[in-house]
Amino acid sequence: MMMTSDWAIILDEADELCEMIVSSEPAKMLQQAYDAVYSDVQIVEAIFAFNRMKEQYEDVQRFGKYHPDYHTIMKSIRQQKRALDLNEKVSALRIAENDFQDLLDQISLLIGKTVSEAVKVPVSNPFFASGSSCGGGCGSGGSCSCSA
């Protein structure tokens, strides 16, 4: 492929769009929430403990209720997940992640519709699925016919 002035303009505009996304309010909020979670030693330890428990959980899932530690591990992983879910910093991080994903979905839809109305754009939020050509089942095994 040969580089033309059109390609150079597109690349410059893509770089400008990236800078706008990185400097956006949702991106800043996401970075602040991420820093708040991962600068807290107790939360980081809880996340690592939860990840270790998830490995044990996956092992238990292979054998189901016949695993000797089935009830213990199932109860423990639910308790750890609930403790993380109820942590204010972790929940703020999840909200910030969702807000940032919504921004990316909106941008994807705008770019997709600029190219063609027939472009199928997978989105994570069902609210934006109506603006997409997809039926909201992208990537989730739904009835969407796109290859996302």
Do 92 and 79 fall into the same domain? Answer: no
30-75 pLDDT, tens digit each: 999 999 999 999 999 999 999 999 999 998 988 888 889 999 999 9
Domain residues for the domain of 70 are: 42-86
Domain match, 49 and 73 both: yes
Tell me the pLDDT of the chain averaged across its residues: 86
- For residue 138, is it within any domain? no
Q: How many CB atoms lie within 10 A of CB 88?
A: 8
**Domains of the chain: total:** 2
Mark whether 76 and 98 lie in a shared domain. no
Q: Is 123 exposed, middle or buried (0-12, 13-18, 19+ CB in 10 A)?
A: buried
